[in-house]
Structure 1
Amino acid sequence: MWSTLLAVLIVVIILSGMGLVVFYNSTIKLRNLARNAWAQIDVQLKRRSDLIPNLVETVKGYAAHEKETFELVTRARAEALQAQSVEDRQQAENALSGALKSLFAVAEAYPELKASENFSQLQRDLAETENKIAYSRQFYNDTTMKFNTKIEAFPGVLLAGIMGFQAIPYFEVLETSERQAVQVRF
Structure 2
Amino acid sequence: MRTPEEDDFAMQTYMIAGGAALAAVIGYVSIYNRLRRLAVKVEEGGSDIDVALEKRYDLLSEEIEAVKKFLSHEYETYTAVTGLRSGADVTDKTQEGGALTREQADAINEAVAAQSAKMAEIKTKLAQQRRGKKSGAAGRKLSAGEKIGLLSSIQQSLGGVGTAVNALAEQYPVLYSSVSMEHFQRSISDVEEHLQAARRLYNANVSLYNQTIASFPWLVVARIHGMEKAEFYEIDDKKREFKVNFD
Whole-angstrom distance in 2 between the partners of 1:147 and 1:58: 43
- Secondary structure of 1:170's match? coil
Give how far 1:4 is off.
5.9
Structure of larger gyration radius: 2
Whole-angstrom distance in 1 between the partners of 2:236 and 2:62: 27
Whole-angstrom distance in 1 between the partners of 2:180 and 2:56: 16
Corresponding residue number in structure 1 for 2:196: 134
Work out whether residues 59 and 184 of structure 2, in 8 Å CA contact, stay in contact via their aligned partners in 1: yes
Corresponding residue number in structure 1 for 2:157: 95
Corresponding residue number in structure 2 for 1:70: 115
- For residues 35-71 of structure 1, the C-alpha deviation after alignment (integer angstroms, 9 at most, x for no partner) is 2222211111111111122111233436324245424
Give how far 1:72 is off.
5.0
Work out whether residues 66 and 179 of structure 2, in 8 Å CA contact, stay in contact via their aligned partners in 1: no
**Runs of at least 5 residues in structure 1 that lack an aligned partner in the other structure:** 181-186
Amino acid at match of 2:216: F
Give how far 1:92 is off.
2.6
Work out whether residues 64 and 116 of structure 2, in 8 Å CA contact, stay in contact via their aligned partners in 1: no
What RMSD in Å do the two structures reach over aligned CA positions? Answer: 2.5
- Secondary structure of 1:171's match? coil
Corresponding residue number in structure 2 for 1:148: 210
- Judged with a 3 Å threshold, the aligned counterparts in structure 2 of structure 1 residues 43 and 67 are, in CA distance, closer, same or farther, namely closer
Instruction: Indicate the percent of aligned positions where both proteins have the same amino acid.
Output: 22
Work out whether residues 199 and 233 of structure 2, in 8 Å CA contact, stay in contact via their aligned partners in 1: yes
Corresponding residue number in structure 2 for 1:183: none
Whole-angstrom distance in 1 between the partners of 2:236 and 2:121: 15
Work out whether residues 67 and 179 of structure 2, in 8 Å CA contact, stay in contact via their aligned partners in 1: no
Corresponding residue number in structure 2 for 1:105: 167
Whole-angstrom distance in 1 between the partners of 2:113 and 2:191: 25
The TM-score normalised by the length of structure 2 is 0.63
Amino acid at match of 2:52: Q
Whole-angstrom distance in 2 between the partners of 1:118 and 1:77: 24
- Secondary structure of 2:205's match? helix
Aligned length: 179
Q: How does 1:1-186 map to 2 (within 5 A)?
A: 7-60=15-68, 61=70, 63-67=108-112, 69-71=114-116, 73-84=118-129, 85-116=147-178, 118-178=180-240
**Runs of at least 5 residues in structure 2 that lack an aligned partner in the other structure:** 1-8, 72-107, 130-146, 242-247
30-39 vs 108-117, which deviates more? 108-117
Work out whether residues 50 and 151 of structure 2, in 8 Å CA contact, stay in contact via their aligned partners in 1: no
Give how far 1:76 is off.
4.4
The TM-score normalised by the length of structure 1 is 0.81
Work out whether residues 30 and 143 of structure 1, in 8 Å CA contact, stay in contact via their aligned partners in 2: yes
Whole-angstrom distance in 1 between the partners of 2:121 and 2:236: 15
Amino acid at match of 2:47: A
